[in-house]
Amino acid sequence: MPTAHEAEKQHTGPEEADQPPSMSSHAGPPAPPSRNPCCLCWCCCCSCSWSEGRRPAWRASGESKLQPLPSCEACTPSPEEVQSWAQSFDKLMHSPAGRSAFRAFLRTEYSEENMLFWLACEELKAEANQHVVDEKARLIYEDYVSILSPKEVSLDSRVREGINKKMQEPSAHTFDDAQLQIYTLMHRDSYPRFLSSPAYRALLLQGDSQSSHEA
């Protein structure tokens, strides 16, 4: 018949076997997660540990960099500049004050994400540091391309498929086709309405008033 001491050892043995191994038993830190995620993790379509572990780091390093550019509220365009915006969409988009006015108009139509995406792509193309390019590209994907994003822009399947392939090795030009598609969308759809909007007419009247005062 086992003694009390032997019974206690027999009782505690299985529990000890179920305990996780001591951290001191490991020779080094755990191996890093694989660089080959189970899917395109930056599209938020799965919950693999690689994506979940990396996303906060991307946000911390890139959030301030991908904030929308200043709205140029202090910019006071000349009457001639305001009038030039009606000459071509290209002139509007090359003007800081023009982009600010157009972005404010897009906000009223609940399509400001188109301008924000275009600006983020411009910023990405100006980046030379590959590590920063990698982070910004993934942030842009999460914010404007992912189907789970509330700021998703409208892209056709061909462009989306191209982006998914390029995201394997992001570059400063990963979103060039998508940026052109959104630029064309704003040109054909939003730009004509902007030119006939009360906001643009008010800017024209403000310019005429300014000119009359100077005369």
Query: CATH number of the domain that 183 lies in?
Result: 1.10.167.10
pLDDT above 60 for 67 = no
- The token pair that represents 121 in the structure block: 């792509």
Residue range 158-202, pLDDT digits in tens: 999 999 999 999 999 999 999 999 999 999 999 999 999 999 999
What pLDDT shows up at residue 206?
87
Length of the chain: 215
- 7 belongs to a structural domain: no
- 39 belongs to a structural domain: no
Q: Which among 206, 213, 191, 185 has a CA at the least distance from the CA of 85?
A: 191
CA–CA separation, 205 and 77 (whole Å): 13
Average the pLDDT over each of 42-46, 149-153, 189-193 and give the range with the smallest value: 42-46
The more confident residue out of 65 and 158 is 158
For 117, the domain range is 79-209
Number of separate domains in the chain: 1
Q: Band of the pLDDT at 76, cuts 50, 70, 90?
A: confident
In the block, tokens 């999460």 appear at 142
What pLDDT shows up at residue 127?
96
- 179 belongs to a structural domain: yes
Q: Which long-range contacts (CB under 8 A, 24 or more apart) does 16-21 make?
A: none
CA–CA separation, 164 and 210 (whole Å): 50
